[in-house]
Chains A and B, each alone.
Chain A
């Protein structure tokens, strides 16, 4: 059964810092990995989907990398801003003919203070 772990559970940084969020998964036979952002009391917003054939995916100040063989992904946030404060979750497909079912990590709570 696929398991997803995110480290750290919480992170507090001053504005302007570059930071890295980590995600690891136990079954490396994945088609893709998705990073989400969740603001308090809200739903999830898809940030990046990185395919298994890709090593990196970029969107603005966000860069996601994927190393399937080691079962790891990182989300790099450049020049962090207070508006980046949120919970960040990674998710991978559950595997097989699962019709797109996802297994989620517990998330990293990010606080960027001015």
Chain B
């Protein structure tokens, strides 16, 4: 089974802090994704990566950056945390798109609170 592991289930940080959320997958997947999930807004894509050191903006990249130095690890960075970034953050991975029918596999999520 695919395992996507997010480093923290719950995290509390202060406004203005630099925050790192880590995600690791063990299935050699090329694609990795970061979403946030908010009530009434559903899941929204922040960033994704289709290869090491490659990244593309999703629908809501403002205030975030990402890093993918190794294939198995995809980090989401909040450069200067703000209260409107309080949310549930979900990481996912999948095999490369060329197969066209590759399911996405999700981690358990990180509930981040910015005070």
A pairs with B:
yes
Question: Is A98 an interface position by the 8 A CB rule?
Answer: yes
Alpha-carbon separation in the docked complex, A31 to B97 (Å): 11
Q: What 1/0 mask marks residues of chain B from 22 to 51 whose CB sits below 8 Å from any chain A CB? A: 000000000101000000101101001010
Q: Which residues of chain B are within 8 angstroms of A32 by Cβ–Cβ distance?
A: 100-101
Tell me the minimal C-beta distance from B39 to chain A in angstroms: 10
Q: Which residues of chain A are within 8 angstroms of B33 by Cβ–Cβ distance?
A: 100-101
Q: Which residues of chain B are within 8 angstroms of A7 by Cβ–Cβ distance?
A: none
Alpha-carbon separation in the docked complex, A100 to B106 (Å): 14
Q: Which residues of chain B are within 8 angstroms of A100 by Cβ–Cβ distance?
A: 31, 33, 48, 50, 94, 96-97, 102, 104
Selected interface stretch from B13-21, B61-69, B71-79, B107-115: B107-115
**A interface, size bucket:** 20 to 34
Q: A31-B101, A43-B90, A105-B42 are in contact. Are A99 and B106 (CB under 8 A)?
A: no
Q: A44-B90, A100-B97, A107-B42 are in contact. Are A49 and B103 (CB under 8 A)?
A: yes
Question: Is A63 an interface position by the 8 A CB rule?
Answer: no
Q: Which residues of chain B are within 8 angstroms of A99 by Cβ–Cβ distance?
A: 31, 48, 50, 56, 96-97
Tell me the minimal C-beta distance from A99 to chain B in angstroms: 4
Pairwise interchain contact B50-A44, C-beta atoms closer than 8 A: no
Of B42, B103, B106, B107, which is within 8 A of A106 by CB?
B42
Q: Which residues of chain B are within 8 angstroms of A43 by Cβ–Cβ distance?
A: 4, 6, 90, 106-109
Pairwise interchain contact B103-A42, C-beta atoms closer than 8 A: no
Q: What 1/0 mask marks residues of chain A from 58 to 81 whose CB sits below 8 Å from any chain B CB? A: 000000000000000000000000
A-B residue pairs in contact (CB < 8 Å), sample of 29: A34-B103, A41-B111, A43-B4, A43-B90, A44-B90, A45-B106, A46-B105, A49-B101, A49-B103, A51-B101, A89-B43, A93-B100, A97-B97, A99-B31, A99-B56, A99-B96, A99-B97, A100-B31, A100-B48, A100-B50, A100-B96, A101-B45, A101-B48, A101-B58, A102-B45, A102-B104, A104-B42, A106-B40, A106-B42
7 residue pairs, one from A and one from B, having the closest CB atoms: A44-B106, A43-B106, A43-B108, A99-B50, A31-B100, A104-B43, A100-B97
